[in-house]
Amino acid sequence: MRISLLTLGVTALPGVVAWGGFGHITVAYLASNFVSNETTAFFQGLLRNDTEHYLAGVATWADSLRYTRWGRFTGPFHFIDAKDSPPTYCGIDYERDCKKEGCVVSALHNYTTRLLDTELHVSERAMAAKFVVHFVGDIHQPLHTEDVARGGNGIHVLFDGRNFNLHHVWDTSIPEKLVGGIHRKPYEAAKRWADVLTTEINEGKFLSAKDEWLKATNVSDPRSTALSWATESNAVVCTTVLPQGPDAIVGQELGSKYYEAAAPVVEAQIAKAGYRLAAWMDLIVSSLRNQPSPGDL
């Protein structure tokens, strides 16, 4: 995997909302609600943003980068193509499914490692942080862990009477409908949704599940952690995304019964992503704090 972006001269890109941007921004705000004060200070300093938007402001940066001439090589880092057969069988084989150019599992491993590397230039570590924020979101979107029809991009469906591909429905249509539409103000809507999910995690429907969400989290083994998250997301392809298989869903209206089944799953995946991102960031800062200083070596 290509690991350096310093030579690109890309230190910041406009905070545009790519498709699925609303979900990524929500994950970022949610994480910022849970990180420790020490973690907040560290990442605000690294990202040079001391506002509450320090994570949300970079949440879609990786999507912006992939569509530039300089960042095109990062395209494969947003997904892993599980060559399984939903709904009969879902599962990820890392050696089989992660392309030689990289995948979301190897990318999360790589950029976490770079973020922890204090010998790298601060701009490289800031870029690594932006990638980590984005890829934790990507890995919780089930169709970012599936090979069938290019992760659902080749499956054409209807959603509330409009033509979309299945990937777009999961990336954008379902999350936006869940909150009643975003009305061209994604950051405000994402912040409100993140605050609602924060309450659900602290004292609501996700309270009993939140400890289980973190059981496989080990910053000393980023690849295994990322693979466990991807495998969990991929299982949703069989249970909820394609419960009758890919052929059965083509051309179907997904804005009613399908939406009713999928919406709680999307909500849970967003909640997991934000809560896990916060824990991941806390672990990164804790690991950096515990690294020996040059005088100790």
Say whether pLDDT at 197 is over 60. yes
Stretch 285-293: mean pLDDT, rounded? 85
DSSP state string for 229-277: HHHHHHHHIIIIISTT-HHHHTT-B-TTHHHHHHHHHHHHHHHHHHHHH
Indicate whether 241 belongs to any domain.
yes
Say whether pLDDT at 219 is over 50. yes
Greatest pairwise CA separation for the chain in angstroms: 65
pLDDT in tens, 74-131: 999 999 999 999 999 999 999 999 999 999 999 999 999 999 999 999 999 999 999 9
Q: What is the pLDDT of residue 57?
A: 97
Is 286 in a helix, a strand, or coil?
helix
Stretch 236-242: mean pLDDT, rounded? 99
Indicate whether 1 belongs to any domain.
no
Indicate whether 185 belongs to any domain.
yes
Confidence of residue 7 (pLDDT cuts 50, 70, 90): very low
Minimal CA–CA distance to 139: which of 272, 284, 283, 1?
272
Q: What is the pLDDT of residue 293?
A: 54
Q: What is the pLDDT of residue 135?
A: 98
Is 26 in a helix, a strand, or coil?
helix
For the chain, the average pLDDT equals 92
Which structural domain range is residue 114 located in?
6-296
Give the domain CATH number at 26: 1.10.575.10
Indicate whether 114 belongs to any domain.
yes
Confidence of residue 6 (pLDDT cuts 50, 70, 90): very low
In total, how many domains does the chain have? Answer: 1
Q: What is the pLDDT of residue 2?
A: 36
pLDDT in tens, 169-182: 999 999 999 999 98
CA distances from 63 to 45, 71, 73, 180, 203 (A): 23, 9, 12, 24, 33
Q: Which residues are catalytic?
A: 19, 24, 63, 66, 78, 134, 138, 144, 167, 171
Q: Which residues contact 120 (CB under 8 A, 6 or more apart)?
A: 114, 128
Q: What is the pLDDT of residue 185?
A: 82
Say whether pLDDT at 254 is over 50. yes
Contact 82/234 with Cβ under 8 angstroms?
A: yes
